[in-house]
Amino acid sequence: SIASNITFGEPWPDRERMQEAAHIAAIHDDIVRLPMGYESLIGEMGTSLSAGQVQRVLIARALYRRPRILLLDEGTAHLDSKTEELVMKRLLSMGITCVFVTHNKSMLPLADKILFMEKARVAMKRVRVKSAA
């Protein structure tokens, strides 16, 4: 089920925490629209999810564990720009350290530090200074 996929390996899943993680990953609304909601089966014998939905379920799985550091390697590559921005802003508002490996330049304004890699080496580093509000 989608629930067991998000809470993967958890002997006593916390439903509220699962739904919170799904909300942050912007997949909760998609899940509750399914006929069996979080209990919907996925895969060969169940519901087919789009590549973007799969990515958001996997982000929710990572968030369910309440990490202090989150590493996403092309973790939003299959999301449309609106959903990607929503997910990224929600992730950044959590106060956890997020490391994004991406080819997507639209994420650059959200970053505090940017490392440009070339031939497996750091080619350039930029540090953004946040203005005082």
* pLDDT tens readout for residues 74-105: 878 888 889 988 998 898 888 888 888 877 77
Residue 130 pLDDT class (50, 70, 90 cuts): low
Q: What percent of the chain has pLDDT above 70?
A: 95
Q: Residue holding tokens 């998609």?
A: 30
Amino acid (1-letter code) at residue 115: L
SS (H, E, C) 81-109: HHHHHHHHHHHHHCCCEEEEECCCHHHHH
Q: Residue holding tokens 């490391």?
A: 99
Overall average pLDDT of the 22-40 stretch: 95
Question: Which pTM was predicted?
Answer: 0.83
Please report, for the chain, the start and end positions of each structural domain, with discontinuous segments joined by +.
2-127
- 2-127 is classed CATH 2.60.40.10: no
Is the pLDDT assigned to residue 5 strictly greater than 90?
yes
What is the Cα–Cα distance from 69 to 46, expressed in whole angstroms?
Answer: 32
